[in-house]
């Protein structure tokens, strides 16, 4: 699977998924972290939110919507929850 940050999309031939800026940034950060789990506060910071005022449910909703979009388009579970810690990717993305 390939992420194209300039076009804000994720693709695996022949499918292509258009991403919002925040979704693309989230996937980029998770991909750069490799097997490291990103905490909710790290994700809030990456997205430019103040973790003290950012609603954790809004973050979970963003991740949930992105997971559904990816599963619907590609039929895979790319974002994995690590209970009590945060999220990570199940596989690396190429650029």
pTM for the whole structure: 0.88
Query: What are the beta bridge partners of residue 86?
Result: 39, 82
Average pLDDT, the chain: 91
- pLDDT higher than threshold 90 for residue 80: yes
In this structure, are residues 31 and 78 in contact, taking their beta carbons and an 8 Å threshold? no
Q: What dihedral do alpha carbons 20, 1, 74, 83 form, nearest 10°? A: -80
**The pLDDT of residue 75:** 95
Q: What domains can be seen in the chain, in order of their start residue?
A: 2-89 (1.10.10.10)
Average pLDDT over residues 74-81: 95
């Amino acid at each position: 699977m390939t992420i194209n940050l300039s076009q804000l999309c994720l693709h695996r031939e022949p499918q292509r998924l258009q991403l919002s800026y925040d979704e693309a940034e989230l996937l980029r950060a998770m991909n750069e972290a490799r097997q490291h789990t990103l905490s909710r506060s790290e994700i809030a910071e990456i997205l430019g939110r103040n973790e003290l005022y950012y609603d954790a449910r809004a973050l979970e909703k963003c991740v949930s919507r992105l997971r559904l979009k990816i599963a619907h388009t590609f039929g895979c579970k790319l974002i994995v929850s690590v209970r009590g810690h945060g999220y990570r990717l199940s596989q690396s993305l190429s650029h």
